Structure 1
Amino acid sequence: MDLQTYTDLPLDERAAFELACARRGFAPMHFDVSSTEDIIDGHSERLVTIRRGCWTQSYRADRPGQWIHQFEADLVCRLFK
């Protein structure tokens, strides 16, 4: 398992995350973002975890941009209040 921080994310994902935050009135610094990557049977599985206060949500990063769309949907639903 390889633990990565926000700054370790690919540049395009960071830019998309920052844009999603801005559209919903947040800044990236409002969140603690980490990512783990496991190699299982030669297949890479990535999980991105977002924390804010007592709220935590994890997203699978199987497809490019997938977790960012799910994160923004959670912002719309006010999951991270």
Structure 2
Amino acid sequence: MAIRTYTDLPLDDRAAFELACARHGFAPIHFDISGQADPDDPAHSELLVVRRGAWAQAYRVDSRGQWLRQFEVDLNGRFFRLAPHA
């Protein structure tokens, strides 16, 4: 199944994504999520691209939910925080 928005995520991943967002003061709607084939992988596994404003990060999708742990590490590191307006 192609992932075009966060609602296309598998139910378990969607719930974990919602919880990770909530733990860091975000809502899922704050992010744009899309899936695409990994151009560097001959088997063309899927990459999940998460965007917020000008910031984007790609995560390799696997059956163990590793992308969710990496997404939360990025949230902890404040990767997706927008710079305050001057």
The TM-score range, normalised by the shorter chain, is 0.7 to 0.9
What is the 5 A alignment of 1:56-71?
A: 56-71=56-71
How many residue pairs align between the two structures?
A: 78
Tell me the TM-score normalised to structure 1 length: 0.83
Q: Distance in 1 between matches of 2:19 and 2:47?
A: 20
Q: Which runs of 5+ in 1 are unaligned?
A: none
Percent identity reads: 59
Alignment of 1:45-60 (within 5 A): 45-60=45-60
* Alpha-carbon separation, structure 2, partners of 1:26 and 1:19: 9
Structure 2, gaps ≥5 residues long: 82-86
Relative to its length, the structure with more strand (as a share) is: 1
Q: Output the aligned Cα RMSD.
A: 1.9
TM-score by length of 2: 0.79
Structure 1 partner of 2:84: none
